[in-house]
Structure 1
Amino acid sequence: MAFSNRIVELSYRLAESGRYHRIKQHVFDLLENPSSRFRVLFDSSMVVLVLTSIAVLIYGVKNDLGPVADVFERFAITIFIIEYLSRFWVYNDNHKIIIDHYERAEFFNKPFQLRPALASILRKKWDYATQPMAVIDLLAILPDYRSIRLLRIFLLFRLFKLMRYTRSVNEFTSVLTEKRIELLTLGTFLAFVVFASATAIYIFEVDAEGSHIKTMFDGIYWAFVTLSTVGYGDITPVTTQGRVVAMVLIVTGIGVISFLTSIIVSAFSEKLPQVTAQRIYGELERRSHHTILCGFGRVGQSVAHHLYQSRERFLVIDINDDNIRKAKQLGYLALSGNAEENELLTRLNIQNAERILCLTGSDVSNVYITLSARQLSPDIEIIARANSRENEIKLQRAGADHTVAPYETAGQVAAQFVGQPVAFEALYGLLTDLDKVGTKVIRVSADSYLIGQPLGILAFEKSKLLLFGIVREAGRPPASGPRSYRLRERRFYFKPDASFVLEPDDLLLVFGYDDSVAHFRETYSLRGPSRFSRLKPGGEKK
């Protein structure tokens, strides 16, 4: 009884130990968590170890490697044992089983019995030990007993260990598992055909002169070879009846292979979208500062084109499969799904994303996406599309940093074109020629030597740049002189003169070639805007 109480006490201590749970979680992430970055490194290392151990085995068949091979083999076996025991440990929580049995006994006012709890633990561990991959792990360890020659054959099971570390093999196995009923039906039919044809060929050929079929095993071997349409030719029927059996078996083999091919192709066609999604999730887990583009309509396609030209890392999300197909044809990373769902955004690693673009054709969807994104990642930059002026305020209240109104903007552009067609056409040509010229933002950092200096000391002309404005935090008093425009959280000064004094975190809005911007930054030790130096959309003119 005292021993049982100690076990219960130890179980409660483990349940309350934060350190124990952290260690176990780290081990679980390393071995089992497909989203863990450490598992990728671990799997890669284990693949190298397994392949190296097999290579050493093959080379050592006819070559004496001496004690080096023994040392390496001991090292590999030690790693395999540690891995097996670690997986055995993290498979379940033994202390929870003991606590559950203890509290159930307390609830019914019965004495606690340790034996049923231990039996439950053993059943759980047995469930793990009898899993196919666990059996393979165990058999891969057995070759350490080199004194028993028969056990050396188990070294081949190390090849099967690669299935645990290679995602492609796991995906292939899962695809076949989902079609197990069809494959079992085909296997049953195949076994019947092989046995029937082997029996028939044995009866017709065993006593025939010149026949190579002497035993039933010869008949089974011939049936397998013929059914697979391989036809080695080492065993051929010599009687008319045997040749008829061969013809029937060949036709049957063609049908079996066709049926098997159709099952596998069908399984992969059904599983392919899920496999693609899992690969994208895994890739995004290792990314940071990427862009999530929600909606691949006309606006989304235009934005995606510009992001692609700028070599930005982005992902397209759309609920329409046709749009996703179009995005993939253009070479974009794309995934079909509803961006309003928190689970999807979480799997897209939104916590480490740079920005999210809500560009669907529905303002309601854009509001929901904005709310979800802001809740999951408070610091992410959110740019949302608004089809009407009334919904811009709703999107901003939902958490959008920027709102764009494509229809209203198109109307303003059309009006400008009517009034100044030549000037507009020239500006439009410059703005759309993204490979050569564009608008850039240059930030004056807080430790820059330019702080407190007049704007006139910057030679924009030498770098072939055009300065058309400076953005400054709205909390500071407005500078006198240049015309300014009030933004949501900042103030924009249009074409300030040479006496304009620079302050920390001022944003210089320049227009010119990319090479010119790079030269200007290098000359004055400046850089682009930080992640949190975001321009806020328009407001009122001063």
Structure 2
Amino acid sequence: MNFCKQRVMEVLSKGDLNDSTSRVCDLFLSILILLNLVAVCLESVDSINLQYHHQLMMFEWFSVSIFLIEYLLRIWSITADDSARGATPWGRRSSYIFSFTGIIDLAAFLPSILPLIMGGLDLRWLRVLRLLRLLKMSHYSSALEDLVSAVHEERRSFAATLYLLAIALFLSSSMMYLAESDVQPDNFKSIPESMWWSLITLTTVGYGDVYPITPIGKFIGALTALMGVCTVALLTGIVASAFSNQMVRREAIFEAEINAAMSDGIITSDEKLHIETIRARFNIPEEHAKAILDLLSEKKGPKTP
């Protein structure tokens, strides 16, 4: 039984390079998720939904069945994962159920089952909730994890920039309220109402639905636009720098693993597989990894079997 749980967990987890079954499962579920997004979008087109409603519903129930089985299998097999939180089997299961991925896995099929339990629900909202299935890709991609990790590492700089953005938001909306409230009482009748224009201007969107018409208001608008460019540039630079630093650290870890494998002058087949697994996990391009390996090989001159 434990072996079965272990194998099911390995198949449902992100596939290793030497586990073809797990990789096929990952590919199947990824394609199914993408097809579901296409189906949900097509359902919103009345002419397509009217003509192919039966086919779309059949595909929806097929997908719901697959996602439900996957969810139950993950709950059943999580007890075999020693890295999962919780000392007891139910502790590990609850840690998965209430985790981010567990909630997303539940949301992948629950909106389609709710109409059977509760009548009178707005199908448009349920259709939008079904788009949460896109987040199931986090099982097979580290993009969201990388973003959260990058922001967390630069959280102080990020918070400082958001603080500057908040200052600019309140300052510009207050000044614009004083300058434009008399001539445009509908658009700038209060500071909270003026914050719409301020936020759109600071984020460099500029819809053009609300804009100043007095000379002082135009001057304040120009200053707000300049502050917005500076603030957005700071936020973009912080995130870009965090991603860059993260990649540098990953390359350093990758180089350290290669150095450890070369310590005895020979890179064995197991060490090669371990290095390739780390390369795939860190999303390092094969050409880049080969260049690092060749450079270190020239320095140490290992003998590969």
Other-structure match for 2:101: 133
2:234 is aligned, of 230, 254, 259, to: 259
Q: How far off is 1:48 after superposition? A: 1.3
Other-structure match for 2:273: 349
Q: 1:315-369, CA deviations, whole angstroms, 9 ceiling, x for partnerless residues? A: xxx77xxxxxxxxxxxxxxx96343469x964521799xxxx996666xx85xxx
- SS of equivalent residue, structure 1 residue 238: coil
1:201 is aligned, of 148, 157, 176, to: 176
Other-structure match for 1:250: 225
Matched, 1:26 2:7: yes
1:163 is aligned, of 128, 138, 151, to: 138
Q: 1:117-149, CA deviations, whole angstroms, 9 ceiling, x for partnerless residues? A: xxx766544433333232222222232034421
Given the superposition, is the C-alpha separation of residues 181 and 359 from structure 1 closer, same or farther in structure 2, using an over 3 Å criterion? Answer: closer
Q: How far off is 1:256 after superposition? A: 1.2
How many percent of aligned residue pairs carry the same amino acid? 25
- SS of equivalent residue, structure 1 residue 248: helix
1:269-348 matches, cutoff 5 A: 269-273=244-248, 337-340=259-262, 346=270, 348=272
In structure 1, runs of 5+ residues without a counterpart are 1-19, 101-119, 282-317, 320-334, 371-380, 383-542
Contact 1:186/1:260 (<8 A) preserved: yes
2:158 is aligned, of 183, 202, 214, to: 183
Contact 1:46/1:165 (<8 A) preserved: no
Contact 2:181/2:189 (<8 A) preserved: yes
1:59 is aligned, of 42, 46, 56, to: 42
In structure 2, runs of 5+ residues without a counterpart are 277-293
Name the CA distance, whole Å, in 2 between partners of 1:179 and 1:56. Answer: 38
Kindly indicate whether structure 1 or structure 2 has the higher relative contact order, using CA contacts under 8 Å at least 6 residues apart: 2
Bigger proportion of residues as strand? 1
Contact 2:14/2:26 (<8 A) preserved: no
2:31 is aligned, of 44, 48, 57, to: 48
- Opposite residue 101 of structure 2, the aligned amino acid is M
1:222 is aligned, of 197, 206, 227, to: 197
Given the superposition, is the C-alpha separation of residues 359 and 56 from structure 1 closer, same or farther in structure 2, using an over 3 Å criterion? Answer: closer
Name the CA distance, whole Å, in 2 between partners of 1:136 and 1:181. Answer: 29
Contact 2:96/2:102 (<8 A) preserved: yes
Q: How far off is 1:167 after superposition? A: 4.3
Name the CA distance, whole Å, in 1 between partners of 2:90 and 2:199. Answer: 42
Matched, 1:70 2:57: yes
Q: How far off is 1:213 after superposition? A: 3.1
- SS of equivalent residue, structure 2 residue 261: coil
Q: How far off is 1:49 after superposition? A: 0.8
Provide TM-score, normalisation by structure 2: 0.70
Name the CA distance, whole Å, in 1 between partners of 2:28 and 2:186. Answer: 54
Name the CA distance, whole Å, in 2 between partners of 1:240 and 1:351. Answer: 64
Name the CA distance, whole Å, in 2 between partners of 1:133 and 1:189. Answer: 33
Given the superposition, is the C-alpha separation of residues 361 and 204 from structure 1 closer, same or farther in structure 2, using an over 3 Å criterion? Answer: closer
Contact 2:153/2:242 (<8 A) preserved: yes
Contact 2:101/2:136 (<8 A) preserved: yes
Given the superposition, is the C-alpha separation of residues 197 and 133 from structure 1 closer, same or farther in structure 2, using an over 3 Å criterion? Answer: farther
Bigger proportion of residues as helix? 2
- Opposite residue 183 of structure 1, the aligned amino acid is F
Provide TM-score, normalisation by structure 1: 0.42
Name the CA distance, whole Å, in 1 between partners of 2:4 and 2:219. Answer: 67
Q: How far off is 1:92 after superposition? A: 3.9
Q: How far off is 1:217 after superposition? A: 5.2
Given the superposition, is the C-alpha separation of residues 47 and 94 from structure 1 closer, same or farther in structure 2, using an over 3 Å criterion? Answer: closer
- Opposite residue 74 of structure 1, the aligned amino acid is W
Given the superposition, is the C-alpha separation of residues 276 and 41 from structure 1 closer, same or farther in structure 2, using an over 3 Å criterion? Answer: farther
Name the CA distance, whole Å, in 2 between partners of 1:246 and 1:170. Answer: 37
Given the superposition, is the C-alpha separation of residues 265 and 128 from structure 1 closer, same or farther in structure 2, using an over 3 Å criterion? Answer: same
